[in-house]
Amino acid sequence: MARYHATVESRRSATETFGYLATFSNAAQRGPGVLAGEQLDPGPAGAGSRFRLVVPFLGLRMSLTHEVIRCVPGHEVLLAATSGVLRSTDRIVVTGGEDRSMVSYEAEVRLRGPLQVLAPVLRPGDAP
């Protein structure tokens, strides 16, 4: 299992920051760990919303569908994705006010089946 955590300050309000981050298809704009993203359901992100991300994984491109499991509007979103080779959970928490906010991002990736033996070689750039 691989775990990742980052805390970042934003100069945007907590409401604006949360809205941007909860729309998980924006992940491709935020860093090299996601190659492409799209929202699969119309409307704002909430429980049950789905997002498809294309991520680099062990030298390949993998498509993962993330579903919002829990959403506390303006504060927290929990997403999960499962494929034949891995299970991933992502948790985003936003705190703050009108002029700035803090973002906490946590991800946990578990390889499934025979690929579990490769878990020690996962690096942050390899995990979705």
Relative to beta strand 60-72, strand 76-82 is antiparallel
Residue 125 falls inside a structural domain: no
Residue 85 falls inside a structural domain: yes
* Strand ranges of the sheet holding 76-82, from the earlier edge strand across to the other edge: 2-10, 101-111, 86-96, 76-82, 60-72, 50-57, 36-39
User: What pLDDT was estimated at residue 84?
Assistant: 80
Residue 45 falls inside a structural domain: yes
Domain span at residue 11 reads 2-120
| Average pLDDT over the chain, rounded to an integer | 86
Number of domains in the chain: 1
Residue 104 falls inside a structural domain: yes
- Local confidence band at 119 (pLDDT 50, 70, 90 cut-offs): low
The pLDDT of 112-124, averaged and rounded, is 53
Residue 93 falls inside a structural domain: yes
User: What pLDDT was estimated at residue 117?
Assistant: 46
Q: Where residue 102 sits, what CATH number does that domain have?
A: 3.30.530.20
% of the chain residues with pLDDT over 70: 88
The pLDDT of 100-124, averaged and rounded, is 72
